[in-house]
Amino acid sequence: MRVARTISLVILVVVTAGCATHHRARAGGFPEGVLAGRRSVGTVAIGNAQTANKFVKIGSAGMGRSLYGDLSQWTDAAIELLAEKLTASGMTVSNASSRKLTLAITDARMSSAGGGWGFKCAVTLSVEGANGLKATFVGERGSWKYPRVCDAGISEAVANMLRDDTVLAYLGYCPEGARCHASRGTSRRSCRHEASPQMPRVRAQEPPEALAASVLPARR
């Protein structure tokens, strides 16, 4: 009896340990429409402010399944996604830039959803820049696959950051209705509001009497 109990405990420990997932984030499923029609001005250097390089428990998926993540590596994934979206909209991401922006995923929590058949993950992203810029954005998404649900949460947090007018202004994005123009021979750019197209002026129609007088010869 004691042997059987010992074997059961050993099997339980092995099974539980085998269900712990140490997940390396790969942000995906970025929402459509973010930064649509927007163009950037200048350059930016993006840094990782999350110094904790260790796996922490993000949540439990039930039946002995747990998800662990390295928040520093998850921040790297957020930076990679952000750099991709900024570059696609015209901004230059360079470590040599004088405009600095630091990111840090400070918290991530996974829980069950959909009556226990699905999962959701809330990711907290801290953003800091010069001139007193400091903001926090939370991205939450759901999925049926618990190992990837926090990847979607990271994407949503980055998307929420790029929906914020203060962050966009700091990054040098032109307001809606304006276009970015580069100064010739320099890397400086500026935003200009495009003037509304001028409609051609329509000459007022002359009365028939005046038109006839200008065409027909005068009577003698």
DSSP 160-207: HHTT-HHHHHHTTPPPTTEEEEEPTTSS-EEEEEPPPPPPPPPPPPPP
For the segment 7-20, the average pLDDT, to the nearest whole number, is 48
23-32, 40-49, 152-161, 171-180: least confident range = 171-180
Domain 41-181 in CATH 3.30.160: yes
For the segment 123-152, the average pLDDT, to the nearest whole number, is 94
Tens of pLDDT, residue by residue over 75-118, are: 999 999 999 999 999 999 999 999 999 999 999 999 988 776 78
Grade residue 74 by pLDDT with cuts at 50, 70 and 90: very high
pLDDT computed for residue 21 by the predictor: 92
Other C-beta atoms within 10 Å of 14: how many?
Answer: 10
Q: How far is CA 173 from CA 35, 49, 111, 160, 161, in A?
A: 9, 23, 36, 15, 13
In the chain, where the domains are located:
41-181
Query: DSSP class of residue 92?
Result: E
**Is the pLDDT confidence value at 216 over 90?**
no
pLDDT computed for residue 101 by the predictor: 98
